[in-house]
Structure 1
Amino acid sequence: MCNKLLKKIINDEKSGGIVLIFCTIVSLIIANSAFREGYLHFWNISLAGLSLELWINDGLMAIFFLMIGLELKREVFIGEFSRPRNAILPVAAALGGMVVPVAFFLLFNLGLPTQSGLGIPMATDIAFALGVLSLLGKRVPVSLKVFLMALAVVDDLGAILVIAIFYTKDLMLLYLSIALGIFAFLIVLNRLKVYSLIPYFIGGAIMWYFMLLSGVHATISGVLLAMVIPFAGRTDGRSPSFVVMHKLHLPVTFIILPVFALANTAVTISSDWHTLFAEPISLGILSGLLLGKPIGIALACLIVVLAKFSKLPVGVNWYNMVGVGLLGGIGFTMSIFITLLAFDDQQVIDTSKIVILTSSLLAGILGYACLHLTLKKSK
């Protein structure tokens, strides 16, 4: 069952990556056409007191974070992280792939107003990275796919922690206390082995509302909800956690992330767009994603393997690991998401989005080329 789910996820991500690319292109075309004003106004339409864009970024993305949390839980219970020796390598790779890109970013932005964007090059877009990897077909060892997925999940968890710690504004302790109180209540339900999903979803929705009011980004409630939904140690499709994760993959991959792309990649590209790449924020993002990611991932893996704490995945060589490191530079979804939290200046936001899209495209091309050459040689 677990292997079947893994194959389904990989297939979904391949198709989902194509849909994401399509939606991004459509959004960019409309944003640079005569329909620009109407398109931007659409995302600002008010619905129940919140703009449509806010409902997407704070509401729908909380569901995306719920799925990420459930994927991490699965890895801990029955996946790559269930055996400590196997978990060490992707966890170390993810940490290296977060710390080194931040160092590159700060090299150009330390002390500047843009240094608040240090979290932008940290995360890996699972959909795009697995999508590019799947283009290489059967030559890719399953162990390499599992490694990349585990790395990306930990990457996203790191980004989530950064969001919770560094991008919380105007903290309202009363509302945060209520949200955490609901979380504690859901923990009790978990301990009492309440397997019905209804109380968890109701509690999760209320927790999301008070988290939104608290100043802590509301999407964090998705991760907290994932922590309390019972896993029950079962893989036969009847575990509540397993069921929810299984049901979420299609809507998240083909609805939530594409809608997020449509709402957040509407960037007007000026005739002098190439000059943007000389700015500190641009150099920080470019170097972080294209250099920091592969260097951090490969270096962390090298240290762990040389120290004999772990070993490379079966059928994988060091050239392949460099290729995976390059794919780790595909930031896209999480990078754009953190950009929206890090800055208020619309010009800086638009510049960051353009650089993120460019960096992710280059990382995907370079990663594919590296793996295409090295996997062919390793046959």
Structure 2
Amino acid sequence: MKDIVEIVVPDAKHNGKLYIKDRLQRGLYSFIGHESFGGILLFFCVAIAMIVANTPSLSEHYFAFWETKIGVSINASIKDISILHIVNDVLMSLFFLMVGLEMKREVLYGDLAGFKKVSFSVFGALGGICIPIAFYLYFNHNAFGADGFGVAMSTDTAFALGVILLMGKRIPSVIKIFLVTLAVADDLGAVIVIAVFYTQHLSIFWLCVATGIIFILIYINYRDTKFVFLYLLLGIFLWIAIYKSGVHPTIAAVLLAFCIPGRTKASGVYFEKMMQEWDKIDFDELEKIKRNYPIKKHKSLLQAFRDGIKNFIQPTNEKKIDMERASHYVHILDSIGRYSHYAKNPLLRIEHALQPICAYFIVPLFAFANGGVLISENLDLISNDIFWGTLLGLILGKPIGITLFAYLSEKCNISIRPRGLSYGHILAVGFLAGIGFTMSMFVATLAYDDQNLVDISKISVLIASFLAMMLGMVALFFSTRNKKNEK
């Protein structure tokens, strides 16, 4: 973009057009690169999905497309997977891998280092599971909707994070970190609940296979293996084993993230080699060589041919280039580049690669695939216990449970509240944790056989998630008014 700005156009009319075009391009790139763009894109996809799902001419095609089966056979281990399951189980596993890597990074290097700091989020997540279930069962304990208690206990990490990113740099990083760790612990708790209460066929054999693969990952981590592809390859086999075991396969991505090294001796060795090569450079001599490589203006092929003939017939008095010394420095710089590649932290390397893919493709696609819920006139929400249990469980049970359990864990000296995180922040995050969307809708499809109950549950989740989002944004606005964070 800088090169475009420096172009000088004599014609004022064209110069004005170029300036406006450049301003628009810079504004577009700045908007896309802003951290709130992912959240805006996410909500936009949900809105489009709702419109398409409830448009008569498009609704049938929308649902039929996501239910289209794709046959995959790996020794008959996986077969007939729908496009919706590919999005939810395969692509979203990459998102959970990124979330797991972020959590591990903060545990190793950030404000969450130490058991007491991690346990603060874990206890908060535990409260965010138990209290919403209690709210839900209060309305449905003797009703046919009792099996859906898991709908009211789940947090959608992508949506909750999208709200925080939507508010931009106003939100302190400690709030984002707390939400991520809380949501991951919450998701792990939800997966355990699904495995225990909603898994109809649990395969002990495939669980043992998955356990064996995890031990292999731990071993190659212990051996300080720097080859990232080896972790990812074993991660694929771990995903298949978890999938076949009957447990939700996104947990495989989180387990893989915990096994990827965040500290390696190999990185230190290659960093030292890189610095040794750097010390070999004579910068004064390198500057002289650089001056002998002038940057010339672009020429046409015919003009370059003419200048070549002219220089051959009448050679200039320009200084000759010492190709041997130049090649020597090129070799040093090439070595530095190679060593710097190997010195990269595997955890950070994978995390940085996944961030744009998840923010701009996977999460928006997931929102579009799952956001379309058909609203029928026959749905009776006001008198339905499932609706009230889900609604109050998410928008009241979540903030009360998270704040209460986190407070008690700190007062009982079991955990330490991260520096800069106030209880106003925690309450706001508790409201955002009521955005259930992903796992809540998934649990709804497992809990009920009646499609009418599934639709009621999904619409309840959407309404509760919308209210939780509004309450969370208001709470965040007021809790972050002062730049100085409470300790």
Same fold (TM over 0.5): yes
Counterparts of 1:20 and 1:219, CA distance in 2: 20
Counterparts of 1:165 and 1:243, CA distance in 2: 35
Counterparts of 2:216 and 2:143, CA distance in 1: 43
CA drift at 1:30: 1.0
CA drift at 1:117: 2.4
Q: Which residue of 1 aligns with 2:348?
A: 242
Letter in structure 2 aligned against 1:241: L
CA drift at 1:377: 6.9
Q: Which residue of 2 aligns with 1:295?
A: 400
Q: Is 1:55 the counterpart of 2:86 in the alignment?
A: yes
Q: Quick check: 2:158–2:363 contact (8 Å CA) kept in 1?
A: no
Q: Is 1:265 the counterpart of 2:287 in the alignment?
A: no
Q: Which residue of 2 aligns with 1:335?
A: 440
Q: Which residue of 2 aligns with 1:71?
A: 102
CA drift at 1:42: 0.9
Q: Is 1:90 the counterpart of 2:121 in the alignment?
A: yes
Q: Is 1:166 the counterpart of 2:197 in the alignment?
A: yes
Q: Which runs of 5+ in 1 are unaligned?
A: 1-10
CA drift at 1:136: 4.5
Q: Which runs of 5+ in 2 are unaligned?
A: 1-32, 72-79, 272-342
CA drift at 1:299: 1.3
Q: Quick check: 2:133–2:153 contact (8 Å CA) kept in 1?
A: yes
Greater CA radius of gyration, 1 or 2? 2
Q: Is 1:128 the counterpart of 2:159 in the alignment?
A: yes
Q: Is 1:43 the counterpart of 2:148 in the alignment?
A: no
Q: Which residue of 1 aligns with 2:179?
A: 148
The match for 1:15 among 26, 37, 42 is: 37
Residues 149-201 of structure 1, C-alpha deviations (whole Å, 9 max, x = no match)? 33223222222332333332212333333333333333332222222122222
CA drift at 1:269: 0.8
The match for 1:306 among 411, 415, 423 is: 411
Counterparts of 2:427 and 2:92, CA distance in 1: 30
Q: Is 1:232 the counterpart of 2:338 in the alignment?
A: no
Q: Which residue of 2 aligns with 1:210?
A: 241
Q: Which residue of 1 aligns with 2:214?
A: 183
Residues 129 and 211 (structure 1), Cα distance of their counterparts in 2 relative to 1, 3 Å cut: closer
Counterparts of 1:172 and 1:67, CA distance in 2: 27
Q: Which residue of 2 aligns with 1:7?
A: none
Residues 195 and 111 (structure 1), Cα distance of their counterparts in 2 relative to 1, 3 Å cut: farther
Counterparts of 2:478 and 2:404, CA distance in 1: 21
Counterparts of 1:305 and 1:239, CA distance in 2: 33
Residues 96 and 208 (structure 1), Cα distance of their counterparts in 2 relative to 1, 3 Å cut: same
Residues 133 and 111 (structure 1), Cα distance of their counterparts in 2 relative to 1, 3 Å cut: same
Letter in structure 2 aligned against 1:295: I
Q: Quick check: 1:64–1:252 contact (8 Å CA) kept in 2?
A: yes
Counterparts of 1:171 and 1:226, CA distance in 2: 24
CA drift at 1:315: 4.9
Residues 131 and 46 (structure 1), Cα distance of their counterparts in 2 relative to 1, 3 Å cut: closer
CA drift at 1:18: 1.6
Counterparts of 1:13 and 1:118, CA distance in 2: 34
Q: Which residue of 1 aligns with 2:467?
A: 362
Q: Which residue of 2 aligns with 1:345?
A: 450
Q: Quick check: 1:277–1:355 contact (8 Å CA) kept in 2?
A: no
Q: Quick check: 2:152–2:394 contact (8 Å CA) kept in 1?
A: yes
Q: Quick check: 1:327–1:363 contact (8 Å CA) kept in 2?
A: yes
CA drift at 1:317: 4.2
Q: Quick check: 1:175–1:210 contact (8 Å CA) kept in 2?
A: yes
Q: Quick check: 1:211–1:218 contact (8 Å CA) kept in 2?
A: yes
Q: Quick check: 1:60–1:256 contact (8 Å CA) kept in 2?
A: yes
Q: Which residue of 1 aligns with 2:230?
A: 199
CA drift at 1:134: 4.3
Letter in structure 2 aligned against 1:343: Y
Q: Which residue of 2 aligns with 1:118?
A: 149
Residues 136 and 198 (structure 1), Cα distance of their counterparts in 2 relative to 1, 3 Å cut: closer
Q: Quick check: 1:76–1:82 contact (8 Å CA) kept in 2?
A: yes
Residues 242-285 of structure 1, C-alpha deviations (whole Å, 9 max, x = no match)? 22222112222222222222222221112355x32432221121
CA drift at 1:356: 1.1
Mean CA deviation greater in 26-35 or 151-160: 151-160
Residues 124-157 of structure 1, C-alpha deviations (whole Å, 9 max, x = no match)? 3333323333455555444333333332232222
Letter in structure 2 aligned against 1:15: F
Report the aligned-residue RMSD: 2.8
CA drift at 1:311: 5.9
Letter in structure 1 aligned against 2:201: D
- Scaled by the length of structure 2, the TM-score of the pair is 0.68
Letter in structure 2 aligned against 1:45: T
Q: Which residue of 2 aligns with 1:253?
A: 359
Q: Which residue of 1 aligns with 2:431?
A: 326
SS of the residue corresponding to residue 42 of structure 2 reads: helix
Counterparts of 1:280 and 1:176, CA distance in 2: 36
